[in-house]
Chains A and B, each alone.
Chain A
Amino acid sequence: MIEIKGVSKTFKNETALDYRDIAFENGKSYMLLGASGCGKSTLLNMIAGILSPDKGEIIIDGKEMSAASQKEKDRFRIEKIGYIFQDFKLINEMSVADNINILRLEGVDTSRADELLEKLGIAEKKNKKVKHLSGGQKQRVAIVRALVKSPDIILADEPTGNLNYSIGEQVIKELTQAAQGKTLIAVTHDERLSRFFDCVIDMNSVTGTPYDAAQGKAVN
């Protein structure tokens, strides 16, 4: 279980986010919905140990990760978390296989890669350089890299952000299927995709960030 307790985060531009307490149960899929700037990605980054909260606690399976050292957080991220970034975070000059096998630097077993690539329909692209792939194919590679280590928690930040709706829907469908039995927390703007998730959380209400409909984003 992932527990968010009294967490707040202030950025250098003085944007302040105060999160209401939330708990994510193991094995369920969550969709975080909300306007830009309401703190969805920040929450994922704090769970992943990429960012540290200024206040409060992030407890994962009983361990307070927010207080852990950077080394522990790195270890936790590589062992327990599969993170799918909005901009994929792939090395364009390298092949699909190399982008996945990069995890071997930390001793991650990537032997499932072929099976996952097959499952997501990009097995034939395995030896292609990432720069030659389409946005949808890159997203699938990012998903494979996140899932190959069989993580307990899958974090997906706008996994459909760069894709059109039909491809995005396909990607989310594949992602939720592949993440069966894992804790999946996905950030998305698109409410139409909510049917693929067990729970939908309105992040505007979680952070108490008012939503400016005219601007289409959260207001601090």
Chain B
Amino acid sequence: MLSFALKNMAIKKVQVILVAVSIIISAGVAVLAYNTANQVRDGITGTAGWYSAIIGPAGSKTQLAMNTMYFTDEPLGTIPYSVVSELQRDSRVKRVIPYAMADNYNGYRVVGTEPAFLESKEIAEGRMFDYAAEYEVVLGASVAKVCDVSVGDDIFTSHSASEQHTQPLKVVGILKESHSAYDRVVFTQLKTIWAVHEHEEEHEEEEEHEHEHMENSVCAAIVSTENPSFAMTLVSDYGGKIIADEDGDSVTLQAIEPMETVRGILEEIDSTKYIVYVLCAIILIMNVIVISIITLLNMYNSAKEISLMRLIGISMKKINLLYILQNGIIGLVSVLLAFAVSKICLRFMDTYASSMGVVLNTAKVYPMEWVILALVFAIAVLPTIICTFVMARRDSISE
């Protein structure tokens, strides 16, 4: 029966392709939308997990959160390192990690911090950069892969597209791929960021070139508190606080609770997600109609063939099975193709999502995706089952 079903499908290429395309579009869009929306959400909430508070320069809360947690956007500016020292002495604070973002390597952001910042990440090759050493870097998995850099290589970071630093940085480790924003970042000791800039400034003083003053400053201080309630008081204490930097200029601080900020971002994402879901539902309904019409037309066109088979003695049961098998094959192959297409699209979507600091993992499959595919498969086969059921009831070979 399978062989005959395949041959029968081969002689109805146009109808088969029409049904398959309808299924691929509806299932592919639905699965892609669901997967992307959920990966973005998971990616954002997952990273925000252990941060109690972030203290940085005054400005956009979202920008501070996105830059510090997802390495996106530009830093708001710098705050004196003394803020970090002050926080370290604060009894409410369990841990403070300084965070600076200054340069890039082939377009990948360079973050100066402490090894503790990466304690939740696994090292795939080499080791973590030394706390005390300078000019050592650990690369995110994608950076190493795309730039073809191995442990032991030297890299040169840039302050901008035209300004490459002359100080080489030694690659001492590569992070294991985590399908997060960390895959696309170069991590180094905070001192390295300061040292590179100090080194460059020495060279460039003669050229009177102005660089942002990085030494003894950070872009943010990431705080983990002893108690969740302390985060609120910290935010209250540091929010709007004005301090003086090394040059005596006043710097206004802002403090945020990242989960609160992320919640705000997610609310916006959620409303977008629901719009996407509604659009998906409309596409699905449209496709149910299209698939049903094509199936009905196919069955109508097959009436002669069915009557012929009935005349030579093929039972209605076998004919029903044949058509259900045919549509089952089309449905199954199409939903599998839809799944593959959605993953290919996800790879392209990744470029867009990375601007939000989320790396979309093409291997990530949510159980609901299988439910969506099963639903579309059922939608594809159901009209045939109904048609064959009606035909069986109207089987009028005797009349």
Binding site for B on A (CB under 8 A): 49-52, 70-71, 73-75, 77-79, 81, 83, 85, 89-91, 93-94, 98, 101-106, 145
Name 9 A/B residue pairs within 8 A (Cβ), A-sorted. Answer: A51-B398, A70-B395, A74-B310, A75-B315, A85-B311, A89-B308, A89-B312, A94-B8, A105-B318
Binding site for A on B (CB under 8 A): 1, 4, 7-8, 11, 305, 308-316, 318, 322, 395, 397-399
Contacts of B1 in A (CB 8 A): 105
Q: Known: A93-B11, A94-B7, A98-B7. Contact between A70 and B397, CB under 8 A?
A: yes
Q: Are B397 and A102 in contact (CB under 8 A)?
A: no
Q: Are A106 and B314 in contact (CB under 8 A)?
A: yes
Contacts of B313 in A (CB 8 A): 74-75, 77-79, 81, 83, 103, 106
Closest chain-B Cβ to A69's Cβ sits at a distance in Å of: 10
Q: Known: A78-B312, A94-B7, A98-B4. Contact between A106 and B318, CB under 8 A?
A: yes
Closest chain-A Cβ to B371's Cβ sits at a distance in Å of: 34
Contacts of A79 in B (CB 8 A): 313
Q: Known contacts A94-B11, A102-B309, A106-B314; can you find 16 more A-B pairs with CB under 8 A? A: A50-B398, A51-B398, A51-B399, A74-B314, A75-B313, A77-B312, A83-B312, A85-B311, A90-B308, A94-B7, A94-B8, A102-B312, A103-B313, A105-B314, A105-B322, A106-B315
CA distance A71 to B398 in the complex (A): 11
CA distance A157 to B223 in the complex (A): 93
Q: Are A91 and B308 in contact (CB under 8 A)?
A: yes
- In the complex, what residue of chain B is closest to A104 when comparing beta carbons? B4
Contacts of A52 in B (CB 8 A): 398-399
Q: Known: A94-B7, A104-B4, A105-B4. Contact between A78 and B314, CB under 8 A?
A: yes
- In the complex, what residue of chain A is closest to B12 when comparing beta carbons? A93
CA distance A86 to B197 in the complex (A): 95
Contacts of B4 in A (CB 8 A): 98, 101-102, 104-105
CA distance A90 to B316 in the complex (A): 18
Contacts of A104 in B (CB 8 A): 4
Closest chain-A Cβ to B303's Cβ sits at a distance in Å of: 13
Contacts of A75 in B (CB 8 A): 313, 315
